[in-house]
Structure 1
Amino acid sequence: MGRLNNLAYPEVTLTIDFGGSGTKGIVQIRGGKPTAFWMEAAVIEAPYTSLAFQTRNLGNAYPENTAWVGIGEDYRAVGYLARSIYSATLRLKPRKYELALYKTLAAIWVIKHKFKLSDCFDISLALLLPPGEFEDSAFLKPMLKEALTEFDTPTKKINANLVGYECFPESGGIYAMYCKNTGEAIRRKVIALVMLGYRNASVIISRRGILNRGKTAKLGMTKMVDLVIEGTSGLEAQELIEGIVAAGSEPKPQHFYHLCNSSNLRDAQIEKIISVVNSSRAEYAFTK
């Protein structure tokens, strides 16, 4: 009986959050425990011949760092490979669903490679989109269903059968847990959930248990990073983000040593960076 119940579940259940700073996911292989994974967010077109050459690194690198996918003649490097080999930058302007297709396929290949799955399997997806872009899920589902039937990867072509698809607004899970914990009282309350991500900021509001569709604005952490870049010289976003995150609310010189190469002017450069980070943080906090 237990075996019959186990077979009722798809071989792979995958949840993905397409963050501007990284693709975050939780995967569960049938019969196993949920496992978290993370991939860099970059996606870029690349020729098949070049991508195929990169497969020489498969034995020495994690699959998250060597991922690429092909749909017909459309080939894309994804994640670390896209950034390190093809100099891809974070594309924050396109709506998330436009790149979600390639990120999802790349994540599925990583999972297939890590868990040594066969080339054909059933999969159920649960995806997150910003509240202001939630309607795009209607476009994403048929794109995924068609692409999953056959797409190219660094190892072999994969044929996956989409047996389940759900799309939720970002913070929808937090809201569901809040409702569960609050119980009947949710019908008398007005609550708001605010998400501050790297790419954008979103808010959803529940009035007496009735949830609105939410709003999304381009007010993510990238706005603060842009302010720091404008106020300094020669800094790159990725390395700067690492320092800002490590520094938290108290930036110190050691958080930014890796950004300065000049030994003679290092102290002055770091002092300037810290000053700009502090002022940019304050300006970002008052952004409307």
Structure 2
Amino acid sequence: MMEPYTTLIPQQSLLAYESNAIGISSPEDVAWIEYKEQCWGVGFICQKFYADLKLEKPKLEPAIYKTLAIVGAIAQKKSLANGATIRLGILFPYGEYSDRTLFSQSITDALADFRFRGEQRSFEIDSFVCRPEGFGLLSRGRSNAKSLGERKIAVVMIGYRNASILIMDRGTMTNGISEDLGFHKLVKAVQQRVAGQKALTLASAICDAGSRVNPKALSRLVRVQDPLLQSAELAQIKLAIENSRNEYWLLLSSYLRHHIPSDIDEIIFAGGTSHYLRSDLSRLFPRPEKISCDALEYLVEREFLSSMPKSGLGFRLTDNYGFLSYLCKTSLQVPVNV
């Protein structure tokens, strides 16, 4: 569970950061890799070097750096020797699913020769499985007793960056689409209406405020000190969120109506934004049976997050958890180029 950032950082800056550190950090919190004569920070460390989320770029390239960092961190924590083999599974948005072959080739080469925190690392890929986002939910997230072969199902994955739709008809993937309609659209709209708000802090406050925009959850966004000005600024932020939310919902709901067939039997909603818009999505599609993946969220919380403070990550990890379960259950041996 690493932060989503990747950024280029000069090697000397990274070495200085490590040498000045006090205490012992987990490898995933100080993850940086060297690949093709460049140094990339990944995750938490990037926040020390003014990184952004690079939402406008495809996931292919940062996925390489993130995978190297994850493998490097696991290898360091578990003392894995160079030459160990890896079974790698990855989920791509449907709109970028065609990049899977290029990613497979690139990550195979990258894992064979890279550095993690200055240490030379080399691993081999034993198997590689790539599927579109939503596949894990189809394989593990359904509570309906009817088989996939009997139903026409839509998996709606709405995250911070993308809104993806995957259509499965009688057990066969028949269509999919992914658009830049994630939660960041709402956040940017609010930022254009109010000054001085950082995206991730604003996103967290919007989620906490809920669909009715509870002003108590927005108090941490107020920047001024004067009590009278504080009330005015809070009212301005609340109005900005309400207006931006309405605009975002009109845009998103139009997209969903257009691309989800009218004869759909089942809709599986997933992703953080789906969770935020849960009641709106339910009203938008009153007829099909709706699956919210609550059971999978519970399993994720129990298996991985029970010892951690309440993070709200459960609903973000359900697709990955379902995919992991699928890979472990089937022990799937897949050629590297699939």
Same-fold call, TM > 0.5? Answer: yes
CA distance in 2, matches of 1:64, 1:281: 34
- 1:137–1:167 contact (8 Å) kept in structure 2: yes
1:263 counterpart = 2:199: no
Aligned alpha-carbon RMSD (Å):
2.0
Residue identity in the other structure for 1:153: F
Unaligned residue ranges in structure 1 (runs of 5+): 1-37
1:65 Cα deviation after fit = 2.3
Unaligned residue ranges in structure 2 (runs of 5+): 255-338
Aligned residue for 1:274?
A: 238
CA distance in 1, matches of 2:172, 2:141: 14
How many pairs does the alignment contain? Answer: 249
Aligned residue for 2:72?
A: 109
- 1:131–1:213 contact (8 Å) kept in structure 2: no
1:98 counterpart = 2:79: no
Aligned residue for 2:119?
A: 156
1:182 Cα deviation after fit = 4.0
Alpha-carbon spacing, 1:245–1:111, altered in 2? closer, same or farther (3 Å): farther
Residue identity in the other structure for 1:162: I
CA distance in 2, matches of 1:85, 1:187: 50
CA distance in 1, matches of 2:196, 2:115: 38
TM-score, scaled relative to structure 1: 0.80
| CA shift digits 1:231-274 (9 cap, x unpaired) | 11111102111211222224333322322231212222112111
Residue identity in the other structure for 1:277: I
Moved more, 71-80 or 116-125: 116-125
Residue identity in the other structure for 1:111: I
- 1:58–1:66 contact (8 Å) kept in structure 2: no
Q: Which structure would you say has the larger RCO, counting Cα contacts within 8 Å and 6 or more residues apart?
A: 2
SS of the equivalent of 2:120 reads coil
Aligned residue for 2:170?
A: 208
* Bigger share in helix: 2
| CA shift digits 1:110-133 (9 cap, x unpaired) | 222333433442211100100111
SS of the equivalent of 1:90 reads coil
Aligned residue for 1:224?
A: 186
TM-score, scaled relative to structure 2: 0.69
* Bigger share in strand: 1
Q: Percent of pairs identical after alignment?
A: 31
CA distance in 2, matches of 1:52, 1:213: 47
| CA shift digits 1:76-121 (9 cap, x unpaired) | 1111211x22211110111111210001111112222333433442
1:45 counterpart = 2:11: no
1:1-80 to 2 correspondences below 5 Å:
38-56=1-19, 57=21, 59-80=23-44
- 1:202–1:216 contact (8 Å) kept in structure 2: yes
